[in-house]
Structure 1
Amino acid sequence: MDIKIIELNEIIEVCENLVQKIRLYGEAQTGDELYERYKLLVKEFYKKYNLSHTTSNQMASVLKTINDYHWEGRTYTVNILEANIILKAVICLKELLFPGLFEKIFISHREKDKDQIAALMELLYAIGIPRPSQGEDGCIFCSSHPDAYIENGRMIDDEILKQFHSKQNVFFILWYTDNYFESQACLNEMGAVWAMKKTYQEILMPGFDRNKIGGLLPKEKIDFKANDKFRLNTFKSQIEQMFNLQPLKQNTWEIARDAFINKIDKLAINKQS
């Protein structure tokens, strides 16, 4: 992931914590630790990437807002309205610097289909989505896979809701099987994708009847079967573009793709037998 995104996400997290602190305890006062941390990070980011020389009117407007709420050398307070303005401005800065760039994948699926999803995750890793590091959240949210397990004691509904309201740009993969459409939780996720206008891709397990697809999502949007090698080629290119990944060598990709198709076909046959 681009280092600028990591740095901007750190600034956004500080701003979110500042908003939460003010909401709980009232205005931030002179010398507030979070606000001072925000100022330091923004100052370093400006200096490092020379943002003051932008020629974009939108960018200039966002930077002016950030500058207007950057107080130095005097007594100040930060109220909830001001903190939210700061947070919104930093999020806008990120969107302007990285238009259309995605940072996370949410796989909506039924836990009964976890073997299929494990194969999908290996394919995504092969394309270039990074595996999670020790002690860090990965780029893929998938409640049934060990790489993305929700920590003990946490509420799964709360963790899923966080993904839908994340300040990160999340790409949703809807993995359709008969099991999927028998689950109210899965249908709720599908409905949330539609209601919140999320970017998504529908993938159908071989043997699943497309006519069974219900819900509110547009029926005209292109979906594909998981063993369609030509659609998988397009899917790979889309993921590389959306996540700013180095294109995978063709031979390496074909080996990973064909291994995925073989695994999926075997799982489909086993399900039918």
Structure 2
Amino acid sequence: MKNKPHKLFISHSSKDAEYMKAFVDLLVAIGVHKNQITCTSVPQCNIPVGCNIYDWLAKQFQTSDLHVVYAFSDNYYSSVATLNEMGAAWVMRCKWTGLLLPGFTFNKLAGCIDKNQICIKLDDPDIITLKQRLRQFRDDIIKEFGLESIDEDEWEEKRDDFLDKIKIIAQQKNVKTTPSNPVNGSNNTKGKTRFDAPVAQRQEIDLLKDYTPFSKVKPIISCGDEKVAKIKTFADCFDMDVDISNVTKRGMGEFAMALMKYIPCDNWTGFFDAGYAIEFDAFASGAIKKVQLEIKNDTGVKIIDEENDVRIGGGHFKYRFRDKVRNREALEKISEVCFTVFFAESYIDGEKGRLSIRNLKVTPAYE
């Protein structure tokens, strides 16, 4: 089956056209061709003359691997057209990135999008977080579109030029930027958590050593057959043996999961505030190729959902909370940490395998 071409669709209000022209310039600097970008405010990226935009969009959803960029603003939510675009993209389950234009705040996000997904606030006063999120977006686009890496000096110049343009446009529009607290979108009023003392001293926390004295890591199998997955829990690690030889139904809807369940929920907001990351070593033998890290809140929403390739000796994986969640409130009620092997060929391409997790910790990402 031939791979669909990668394309970007920028969903925005025509009243925010100047911002989008600057954003398209940044995409081109990264290496995306204008014929891979659809943005109705940029002539070279517009839809063909005479096309009905909704018919054209429907065709793009079907024929392209479409990545939607939402440019959220008050103008966006006042436009029926853009809200229809959001609904169409949601129905087609498109990958998406959110930009919060100057003056627009996280608490105004609405509609069918996942409000826990990270967005980029273009007037964020926390410049370190803003630059890191733009870098992550750049890296994701380079990987997704198969582009060559941009020179770091050139990237910093183009990124800073983009941010300067955004600031100037906001000033010209007399947009009053809404100051956030030092952490993007967060409320800096901190409640006490059991991790406050070690975090204040910039200490790492071994999550397995913290968890295993009171609970074992438990296997959860979607088909209900206990023979499919067995877990051995140690003080600072665990192994999960998976055997799907008798499983008939396979695919991304079926899985074996190693579950760490927190009762009551754990408050991880301090990790966000202090710039911490979650990291671990994962190794696999046999047929297992990948494992999914899933961190969920008390309603079952996945706060972090990351695929990890554990073939050929496994690897060390690290995810900084500020890069993966929108604000500290998302980490206020952590209920589950899961390591999931789906019964799809991309995750397990045979019958049996062993997954080993070591050194599961939260650590200071930088000083």
- With normalisation by structure 2, the TM-score equals 0.44
CA distance in 1, matches of 2:149, 2:158: 14
With over 3 angstroms needed to count, the CA separation of the structure-2 counterparts of 1:254 and 1:102, relative to structure 1, is farther
CA distance in 2, matches of 1:247, 1:182: 38
**C-alpha displacement of 1:272:** 2.3
**C-alpha displacement of 1:102:** 5.8
SS in 2 for 1:207: coil
SS in 1 for 2:173: helix
How large is the RMSD of aligned CA atoms in angstroms?
A: 1.6
Determine the structure 2 residue equivalent to 1:181.
77
- 1:176–1:208: 8 Å Cα contact kept in structure 2? yes
1:258 paired to 2:160: yes
CA distance in 1, matches of 2:61, 2:101: 24
CA distance in 2, matches of 1:270, 1:247: 34
Q: How many residues align?
A: 169
Determine the structure 1 residue equivalent to 2:87.
191
CA distance in 2, matches of 1:234, 1:151: 31
**C-alpha displacement of 1:213:** 1.1
Determine the structure 2 residue equivalent to 1:72.
none
Determine the structure 1 residue equivalent to 2:65.
169
SS in 2 for 1:170: strand
- With normalisation by structure 1, the TM-score equals 0.59
Q: Superposed, which structure 2 residues align to 1:116-195 within 5 Å? A: 116-131=19-34, 138-165=35-62, 167-195=63-91
Letter matched to residue 61 of structure 2: F
Which of 94, 106, 114 is 2:2 aligned to? Answer: 94
Cα offsets for 1:26-50 (capped at 9, x unmatched): xxxxxxxxxxxxxxxxxxxxxxxxx
CA distance in 2, matches of 1:226, 1:243: 23
Which of 135, 149, 154 is 1:247 aligned to? Answer: 149
SS in 1 for 2:99: strand
SS in 1 for 2:96: strand
Which of 88, 92, 98 is 1:202 aligned to? Answer: 98
- 1:104–1:139: 8 Å Cα contact kept in structure 2? yes
Cα offsets for 1:213-239 (capped at 9, x unmatched): 110111111111125222111111111
Which of 112, 129, 150 is 1:216 aligned to? Answer: 112
**C-alpha displacement of 1:164:** 2.2
Letter matched to residue 57 of structure 2: I
- 1:206–1:225: 8 Å Cα contact kept in structure 2? yes
With over 3 angstroms needed to count, the CA separation of the structure-2 counterparts of 1:194 and 1:153, relative to structure 1, is closer
1:104 paired to 2:7: yes
CA distance in 1, matches of 2:59, 2:84: 14
Q: Superposed, which structure 2 residues align to 1:55-66 within 5 Å? A: none
SS in 1 for 2:69: strand
**C-alpha displacement of 1:199:** 0.5
- Kindly indicate which of the two structures has a greater share of residues assigned to strand: 2
Letter matched to residue 17 of structure 2: K
CA distance in 1, matches of 2:143, 2:2: 17
Determine the structure 2 residue equivalent to 1:75.
none
SS in 2 for 1:94: coil
Letter matched to residue 148 of structure 1: C
Q: Which runs of 5+ in 2 are unaligned?
A: 124-129, 176-367
Letter matched to residue 117 of structure 1: M
CA distance in 1, matches of 2:169, 2:132: 20
CA distance in 2, matches of 1:244, 1:151: 26
Q: Which runs of 5+ in 1 are unaligned?
A: 1-92, 96-100, 132-137
Identity level (%):
38
- Structure 1 runs (4+) greater than 3 angstroms displaced: none
* Worse overlay, 211-220 or 256-265: 211-220
